Structure 1
Amino acid sequence: MHHHHSDMLPVAMIIATLVGLATSKPSIHLENHFSMENESEEVRSAAIKRLLEVFGMEVPPLLRGDKQSPQYMLDLYNTVADVDGVTKDSYLLEGNTVRSFFDKLHNEQVEFLFNLSTVARSEKVLTAELHIFKLQPQASTAFNRHHFCQVSVYQLMDCSKMNITQGKKLLSSRLIPVHSTGWEVFTITQAVSSWMVEEGSNLGLLVTVQTLGGSQMDQKVVRFASERNHHQSKQPMLVLFTDDGCRAAALENTLNGSPCSPQPACHPRPAKPPQRPGPHRSARSLDYEDGEKITCQRLALHVDFEEIGWSGWIVSPRGYNAYHCKGSCPFPLGQNMRPTNHATVQSIINALKLTKGIATPCCMPDKFFSINLLYFDDDENVVLKQYDDMVAGSCGCH
């Protein structure tokens, strides 16, 4: 037992020295102080770089000016995530990424162009939707004899290719009441998938409005909000549901050649989100009670995006509780420690001292939850993304 303590001593001394360094008054050795500061700056930037990688980015997006998230994206976020950003139900979204794009043409006609360059090649397009806002007809047209109009969405094509005559391909078409107002959504998955495959093929979309007889409808009667003349909240928008393969990879637990951050192991997705923890005990009782170690349990660990300096581009949440596992796994392991059979055996071997150098099992997360982030990307598009294994759902001895 004694040699054990002598082993521990140097570590304790090193810790004491570090604590001493941290708390001592500024010394005369300024150059040392500077090198330490530079080192901590280096550590900070390396840490933030790693954190960006967890969120699938290389650099934090740059934002110009104050931007607002489309209401649709805010509503979607609130549907899939609770107040802390934790996923309510993993089956609410088909994939794990939803992107919104604004029109780049700003054309007077009902023609739109969306720049999709921020979508990774590896992302699988599941569904694509064109959202356009139908405005109230102007008063003078109240006596219009038409009650319905035919609204069609076309993909603009290159006429020089594959002898396309009109230069457009019908994607979706339906009847809409002339006097209705609000969002109209058209599915255009086929077009977006083809744009993803062939670079430079994205020539935009065209929306036409016709009478039931097939003639051109009076533009004053049926109008859609455009980027130019109307409020930001009514801008035409392309919404793209994709999957970056991370969820599938996590489920199969094969990460070779996948763009996802490596995850230690695959955890079955929980059926229900974690319950809110009860009232917190005092900090003292959580840590060490009269020198006695706490047994394995889940404690709070707040990640604050503002502190990290990311509040500018992350819309929601402001931060989240990742939780962490702390404490000892003493013999005998109770069922409340959720031990694996292996941990139970290891604990027994340790207790009986049957083999030298066998530690007690470790207190670690054994269930995880995903969180959702609503953020602006480099192109100032709003993205909703789900990240697996971000919150420790429960702790156990393993």
Structure 2
Amino acid sequence: MQPAQRLSTLSFLLLTLACGQTSKFQENDFLQFLGLEKAPSPQRFQPVPRVLRKIFQAREAAAASGASQDLCYVKELRVRGNLLQLLPDQGFFLNAQRPSQDGSCLQKVLYFNLSAIEGKGKLTMAQLTLDLGPRSYYNLGPELVVALSVVEEPGMCGESHPNPNRLLAQQSIWGPQGPLHFNLQHVVKNWDSNRLKNLGLYLEILAKEERYSGVNVQPENPCGRLIRFLHASLLVVTLNPEHCHPSPRKRRAAIPVPKGSCRTLCHRHQLFINFRDLGWHKWVIAPKGFMANYCHGDCPFSMTTYLNSSNYAFMQALMHAVDPGVPKAVCIPTKLSPISMLYQDNDENVVLRHYEDMVVDECGCG
């Protein structure tokens, strides 16, 4: 779809949605524009992950201040991307009831459903975060050895216990000391190219002898504490170049419309899209709506040079004056800006996504 067609289609969909003239077909068109097959219907809102909330708030603050920003670059993570998803762990414990005698506190299969990753998106980041629980004030817990492996073969003879084949990382820490992060970009790329290879990860945490001798002031057994507080998530960032425009070319400076000019001339009109009016408040977390605006008005030949018009629009208006069979120049958006949205997708994952060409900033004849 050409840029001019994208703009006219988007403007039409926004107008019909905002004016209550939408049909199910038009709503589905707009949902597909947003990258959704259908409107999500979550049972309840999931808590917004701190990392996504922080990035969204920074973008909102920058937009409110008028600062220029590239929403296809996540500066907080230092990667390119227009779609951020935090996938929850759907795995299971292997020895939650009886820790092993060899010091193995915790054994768990971590599994992340990658079906929400779009096929056209280029994976730019996949980061596993392991939160082992709140930090110990006295820091008297045992030394923990965290081992992470890739599961490449299922359990033998129907056994649920997997066969970890490739060690990814091994790290020693003194008790819970904040979240641990692991780069899984190459692993997730391999899974994404062949979904059948996604058998998950094997996590094992071993507890060595106490760091200090003496009374243990931990409120509970360290193994039970790990099993109780462990939380794993996978942050996936993808980039779809089709949805990220390069820096726009500079247009010639617009000549201001003379004072007292007729209000029927081409100019920007305010239009606020309220997600509650559309029933989308059930799955859109933020923003609650946005000022989309639209363009409307006449483009008479005598005023073309005053209405932020392109050279082509001027020539088209000139040809229309000579030959009425040539269509008139029409009032269209000449400058648009993007927005970011936080929402829950059809799998109830919390998503932060960047959308180009959502807000009309300037209008002109074209």
Q: Does the alignment reach a TM-score above 0.5?
A: yes
Q: 1:183 aligns with which of 179, 183, 186?
A: 179
Q: 1:78 aligns with which of 49, 57, 71?
A: 57
The one-letter code matched in structure 2 to 1:97 is L
> How many residue pairs are counted as aligned between the two chains?
307
The yes-or-no answer on 1:158 pairing with 2:153 is yes
Find the counterpart in structure 1 of residue 362 from structure 2.
394
Contact 1:210 1:216 in 2 (8 A): no
The one-letter code matched in structure 1 to 2:33 is V
Over alpha carbons, which structure has the higher Rg? 1
The one-letter code matched in structure 1 to 2:70 is D
Contact 1:103 1:114 in 2 (8 A): yes
* Compared CA separation, residues 200 and 217, structure 1 to 2 (3 A): farther
The one-letter code matched in structure 1 to 2:151 is L
Find the counterpart in structure 2 of residue 15 from structure 1.
none
In 2, the alpha carbon distance for the partners of 1:50 and 1:300 equals 23
Find the counterpart in structure 1 of residue 125 from structure 2.
127
Show structure 1 runs of 5+ residues with no match.
1-39, 252-266, 272-288
In 2, the alpha carbon distance for the partners of 1:217 and 1:246 equals 55
Contact 2:72 2:354 in 1 (8 A): no
Find the counterpart in structure 1 of residue 335 from structure 2.
367
Q: Secondary structure at the match of 2:318?
A: helix
Question: Offset at 1:160?
Answer: 8.4
Question: Offset at 1:54?
Answer: 1.3
Contact 2:266 2:297 in 1 (8 A): yes
Equivalent residue runs for 1:1-398 within 5 Å: 44-82=23-61, 88-93=69-74, 94-107=80-93, 108=96, 109=106, 111=108, 112-136=110-134, 142=140, 151-158=146-153, 167-174=164-171, 176=173, 178=174, 181-209=177-205, 229-230=228-229, 235-247=231-243, 251=245, 268-269=247-248, 292-333=262-303, 336-350=306-320, 353-398=321-366
- The structure with the largest strand share of the pair is 2
Question: Offset at 1:239?
Answer: 0.8
* Compared CA separation, residues 220 and 41, structure 1 to 2 (3 A): same
Contact 1:373 1:385 in 2 (8 A): yes
Contact 1:172 1:187 in 2 (8 A): no
In 1, the alpha carbon distance for the partners of 2:59 and 2:86 equals 16
In 2, the alpha carbon distance for the partners of 1:143 and 1:366 equals 62
Question: Offset at 1:166?
Answer: 6.1
* Compared CA separation, residues 50 and 135, structure 1 to 2 (3 A): same
Question: Offset at 1:196?
Answer: 1.3
* Compared CA separation, residues 345 and 245, structure 1 to 2 (3 A): closer
Q: Alpha-carbon deviations, 1:97-152, whole Å to 9, x = none?
A: 111111112424353212222223333322111112233465786286x5xx6544
Find the counterpart in structure 2 of residue 278 from structure 1.
none
CA root-mean-square deviation: 3.8
In 2, the alpha carbon distance for the partners of 1:307 and 1:374 equals 18
Q: Secondary structure at the match of 1:167?
A: strand
The one-letter code matched in structure 2 to 1:96 is N
Show structure 2 runs of 5+ residues with no match.
1-18, 75-79, 97-105, 157-161, 212-219, 251-259
* Compared CA separation, residues 244 and 166, structure 1 to 2 (3 A): same
Q: Alpha-carbon deviations, 1:234-286, whole Å to 9, x = none?
A: 832111111245336xx5xxxxxxxxxxxxxxx74589xxxxxxxxxxxxxxx
In 2, the alpha carbon distance for the partners of 1:304 and 1:83 equals 21
Find the counterpart in structure 2 of residue 25 from structure 1.
none
The one-letter code matched in structure 1 to 2:86 is S
Contact 1:129 1:239 in 2 (8 A): yes
Q: Secondary structure at the match of 2:195?
A: coil
In 1, the alpha carbon distance for the partners of 2:83 and 2:209 equals 38
- What percent of counterpart residues are identical? 22
Contact 1:172 1:188 in 2 (8 A): no
Contact 2:107 2:205 in 1 (8 A): no
Normalising to structure 2: TM-score of the pair?
0.70
Normalising to structure 1: TM-score of the pair?
0.65
Find the counterpart in structure 2 of residue 254 from structure 1.
none
Q: Alpha-carbon deviations, 1:24-50, whole Å to 9, x = none?
A: xxxxxxxxxxxxxxxx99952222122
The one-letter code matched in structure 2 to 1:242 is T
The one-letter code matched in structure 2 to 1:391 is V
Contact 1:297 1:326 in 2 (8 A): yes
In 1, the alpha carbon distance for the partners of 2:135 and 2:327 equals 76
